[in-house]
C-alpha cells in the first residue's frame, strides 16, 4: 500500500514527487520523463515563458533552471529566450536529483478501492494507494476543429505530433491557429524548406511586447507590476494569487481560464515570422475534403486537401494544400481520461458546465484522495496552471492536502526524509473524441 501514486513525470508530476518525498510519503511515480516536451514539440523551439518563471519546484528551491544553467555555463536571463531542448534536459536533471525514481510505464486504469485506489499499468502490475495525483500533462486533451476530424493522418495532424519538420520540405502546409504554437511551427516550417501559411479566425495576430526591465521606477512598478507571466495587475493576480481565482464564481473562472493570456506570439519570433509566412486572417474553415488524382510534390501522383473558408463578412473561398497542421490548443475534459474508471469520471463534481473537475484549495477532487494538477486545474485556479510556473504553487499545496487526507484516516506515520536521486518518465493516456471549448497551454 502506497501513500501516493503520482501519474505523470512532467514538470507538475516531478515537482509533486519532490515535495511528497520530502514529506516522508511512501510513493510511486509512474511515467516517462518530460514526454510532452521531448516527443511532441518541434526541434528548434524556444520557451515563451521567462527562464525565471520556468523552474520546477522542490522544497528547498535548490534545483532551479537558473542553477542548472549556471553549472553548465548556459547564459540565461530576463528577456533572453531559452531553447526548449535546454529546458527538457533541465527537467530530466531535476528528476534525477530532486525526485524519487519514476518508472516508464503506462497507467491504464485508476479505480476506487476500499483502501483508496487500485492502479493498473500496461505491464500488468496492480497496486493500491491511499491517494492518487494525476499530473498527466496536455496530450490527452489535444483539440482539433470538428471539420478536420476523420481526415487521414498523412493530410491532417496536430502541432504536437511533429518533432522533426524536415518531412515537409517543399510542401505547401496550412497551419491553423494564431497562438505561439501556430506561429512558431509555421516559422520553423519555413526555415525547414516548406511553404507554410497561417489561417486563423482572428482578425489580427497579437504579439507580446518585449519584457520590461526588472528594475523600474516606483510609479511604473505600481501601475504595471511585473510577474512571472508578464506585466500588469491582471497578470500579476493570475501569477501570484491562483488561490484568489479559485474563490471567484465558476462562470468567471471559466471565462478567465479560456480567455486570459490568450493567443499571442512571442516578441522575439516576430522578425522571423513576418518575412517568411503569409497569413490569411479573419477566416474560418467550414469544410475540408481530400483531393485525389492531383499532382504531388515533383509532379508525381499525390493527395491534397481542399479547404472551404468563410471570412467574417461572409465571403467564401477555397484553398488547396498538401497538409494541414492544427495548432489549436487543448481541451481540459475529464471524459478524455480513458484511464479513469468510467463511473468515477461521471460522478466527479465539475466546475460549472465544463468538463474540468471541481477542486478544493488543495487540488483534491470531490472523490476523496483523488488530486489533479496541470491543465485540468486551470478552470479552478486560473491560467497559471497552463504554464510550468504553476507547478511551484501546486506541488506544496497538493502534497499538504495528501498528508491531511492520510492523517485524517490515521495512516500517516512516516517522518520527513530527503528525496533520493532518481530517473523518471511520463505516461501515455487514452483520449476520447469529445471536444468542448479549447484552452491554450503555455510553455
- Domains of the chain and any CATH numbers: 2-141+330-408 (3.50.50.60), 146-206+264-326 (3.50.50.60), 218-248 (no CATH)
Torsion sign across C-alpha atoms 380, 381, 386, 388: negative
- In tens, the pLDDT along 187-244 reads 999 999 999 999 999 999 999 988 888 888 888 888 889 888 888 999 999 999 999 9
**Among 106-115, 301-310, 311-320, 350-359, which stretch is predicted with the lowest mean pLDDT?**
301-310
- In tens, the pLDDT along 409-427 reads 876 544 443 333 333 333 3
Q: What is the pLDDT of residue 217?
A: 86
Average pLDDT over residues 284-293: 89
Residues sharing a CB contact under 8 Å with residue 77, sequence separation 6 or more, in sequence order: 51
- For 107, the 3-state DSSP assignment is strand
Q: What is the pLDDT of residue 77?
A: 83
- In tens, the pLDDT along 12-35 reads 999 999 999 999 999 999 999 999
Q: Per the structure block, which three cell numbers stand in for 244?
A: 484568489
Q: How confident is the model at residue 80 (pLDDT cuts 50, 70, 90)?
A: confident
Average pLDDT over residues 380-388: 95
Q: What is the pLDDT of residue 293?
A: 61
CB contact at 8 A, 399 and 23 = yes
Average pLDDT over residues 82-95: 95
Percent above pLDDT 90 for the chain = 79
Q: How confident is the model at residue 49 (pLDDT cuts 50, 70, 90)?
A: confident
**pTM for the structure as a whole:** 0.89
Q: What is the pLDDT of residue 429?
A: 32
Q: Helix, strand, coil % (nearest 5) of the chain?
A: 35, 25, 40
Q: What is the pLDDT of residue 173?
A: 98
Sequence-ordered strand ranges (E) for 166-300: 172-176, 195-200, 226-227, 230-231, 279-281, 283-295
- In tens, the pLDDT along 29-48 reads 999 999 999 999 999 999 98
* 231 compared with 357, residue with greater pLDDT: 357
Q: How confident is the model at residue 303 (pLDDT cuts 50, 70, 90)?
A: confident
* 437 compared with 81, residue with greater pLDDT: 81
Q: Is the pLDDT of residue 348 over 60?
A: yes
Q: How confident is the model at residue 266 (pLDDT cuts 50, 70, 90)?
A: very high
CB contact at 8 A, 313 and 203 = no
Q: What is the pLDDT of residue 52?
A: 81
What average pLDDT is seen over the chain? 89
Other CB atoms closer than 10 Å to residue 302's CB: what's the count?
15
Q: What is the pLDDT of residue 337?
A: 93
| DSSP one-letter code for 66 | H
SS3 for 316-385 is EEEEEECEEEECCCECCCHHHCCCECHHHHHHCCECCCCCCECCCCCCECCCCCEEECHHHHHHHHCHHH
Residue with cell 520527513: 416
Amino acid at each position: 500500500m502506497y501513500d501516493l501514486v503520482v501519474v505523470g513525470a512532467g514538470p507538475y508530476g516531478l515537482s509533486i514527487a519532490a515535495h511528497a518525498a520530502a514529506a516522508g510519503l511512501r510513493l510511486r511515480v509512474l511515467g516517462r520523463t518530460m514526454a510532452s516536451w521531448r516527443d511532441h514539440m518541434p526541434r528548434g523551439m524556444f520557451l515563451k515563458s521567462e527562464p525565471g518563471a520556468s523552474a520546477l519546484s522542490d522544497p528547498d528551491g535548490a534545483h532551479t533552471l537558473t542553477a542548472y544553467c549556471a553549472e553548465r555555463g548556459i547564459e540565461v536571463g530576463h528577456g533572453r529566450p531559452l531553447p526548449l531542448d535546454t529546458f527538457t534536459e533541465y527537467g530530466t536533471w531535476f528528476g534525477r536529483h530532486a525526485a524519487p525514481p519514476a518508472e516508464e510505464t503506462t497507467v491504464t486504469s485508476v479505480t476506487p478501492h476500499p483502501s483508496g485506489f487500485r492502479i493498473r499499468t500496461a505491464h500488468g502490475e496492480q497496486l493500491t494507494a491511499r491517494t492518487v495525483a494525476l499530473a498527466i500533462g496536455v496530450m490527452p486533451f489535444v483539440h482539433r476543429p470538428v471539420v478536420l476530424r476523420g481526415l487521414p493522418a498523412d493530410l491532417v495532424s496536430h502541432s504536437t505530433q511533429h518533432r522533426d519538420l524536415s518531412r515537409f520540405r517543399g510542401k505547401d502546409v496550412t497551419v491553423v491557429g494564431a497562438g505561439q504554437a501556430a506561429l512558431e511551427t509555421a516559422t520553423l516550417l519555413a526555415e525547414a524548406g516548406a511553404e507554410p501559411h497561417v489561417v486563423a479566425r482572428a482578425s489580427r495576430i497579437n504579439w507580446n511586447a518585449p519584457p520590461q526591465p526588472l528594475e523600474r521606477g516606483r510609479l511604473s512598478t505600481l501601475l504595471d507590476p511585473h510577474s512571472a507571466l508578464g506585466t500588469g495587475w491582471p497578470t500579476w493576480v493570475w501569477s501570484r494569487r491562483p488561490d484568489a481565482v479559485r474563490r471567484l464564481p465558476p462562470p468567471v473562472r471559466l471565462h478567465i481560464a479560456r480567455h486570459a493570456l490568450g493567443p499571442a506570439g512571442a516578441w522575439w519570433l516576430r522578425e522571423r515570422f513576418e518575412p517568411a509566412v503569409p497569413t490569411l486572417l479573419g477566416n474560418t474553415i467550414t469544410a475540408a475534403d481530400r483531393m485525389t488524382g492531383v499532382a504531388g510534390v515533383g509532379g508525381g501522383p499525390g493527395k491534397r486537401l481542399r479547404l472551404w473558408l468563410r471570412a467574417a463578412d461572409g465571403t467564401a473561398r477555397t484553398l488547396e494544400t498538401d497538409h494541414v497542421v492544427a495548432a489549436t490548443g487543448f481541451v481540459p475534459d475529464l471524459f478524455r481520461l480513458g484511464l479513469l474508471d468510467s463511473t468515477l469520471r461521471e460522478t466527479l463534481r465539475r466546475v460549472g458546465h465544463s468538463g474540468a473537475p471541481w477542486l478544493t484549495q488543495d487540488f483534491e477532487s470531490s472523490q476523496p484522495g483523488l488530486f489533479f494538477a496541470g491543465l485540468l486545474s486551470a478552470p479552478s485556479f486560473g491560467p497559471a496552471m497552463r504554464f510550468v510556473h504553476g507547478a511551484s504553487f501546486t506541488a506544496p499545496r497538493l502534497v499538504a492536502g495528501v498528508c491531511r487526507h492520510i492523517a485524517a484516516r490515521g495512516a500517516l506515520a512516516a517522518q520527513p526524509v530527503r528525496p533520493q536521486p532518481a530517473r523518471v518518465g511520463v505516461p501515455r493516456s487514452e483520449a476520447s473524441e469529445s471536444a468542448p471549448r479549447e484552452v491554450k497551454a503555455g510553455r
